[in-house]
Amino acid sequence: MPLRALLIAVWLFAFGGTAAAQAPTTAAPPSEREEIARLVREKQLDAALARADAFLAKSPRDAQVRFLRGVILADQGKPAEAIAVFESLMRDFPELPEPYNNLAVLLAAQGRYEQARSLLQQAIDAQPNYLTAYENLGDLHIALAADAYQRGAKLAPNDASLARKLALAREIGTRLRAAR
């Protein structure tokens, strides 16, 4: 599934956590959140997770670091743990669209398209101008179309119209993945 997870830099900017957003005249040392995000960007996932866990032991309600922890777990190939993190964030901070989006990406990757569609709509409801959710919703609709055409083609393997539509949906999906 070519859905796009939230970029960490966007999340940090939304919370005002980047040094560039604050533009001090003297460089302040990076915050612990920024250090964790840097480790994630540099793919030092084990170190990032250890720092996130240590930070959350002291500040368990910190939404930003909890979100980063979910991103780390997803990047480590631990979808069940990442799903639990994003579900917890949705319960505690229903106004934030990013956990809905990232959970939708994980569920879509598991073929749970209808649940992913619902979560993307919740992300849009939480923040109507959240471009990433709209983009992911479009990608999801293409995946749903390809899935429906493929099921139809199994029922009518000689239907040329279904075969053309399936090929087109797959081509669009391939182009979307290549564009990322």
Q: State the Cα–Cα distance between residues 103 and 105, nearest whole angstrom.
A: 5
For the chain, give percent helix, strand, coil, nearest 5: 75, 0, 25
Q: Please give the single-letter amino acid code of residue 10.
A: V
Q: Which of 12-21, 46-55, 135-144 has the lowest mean pLDDT?
A: 12-21
The pLDDT tens digits for 83-96 are: 999 999 999 999 99
Q: Please give the single-letter amino acid code of residue 170.
A: R
User: Nearest to residue 1, comparing CAs of 69, 102, 97?
Assistant: 102
- CATH number, span 8-179: 1.25.40.10
Sign of CA dihedral 99, 100, 101, 103: positive
Q: What is the mean pLDDT of the chain?
A: 87
Half-sphere exposure at residue 75, Cβ-oriented, CA atoms within 13 angstroms: 23
Strands (E) across 48-101 are located at: none
Q: State the Cα–Cα distance between residues 106 and 98, nearest whole angstrom.
A: 12
* Residue 142 in tokens: 């293409």
pTM over 0.85: no
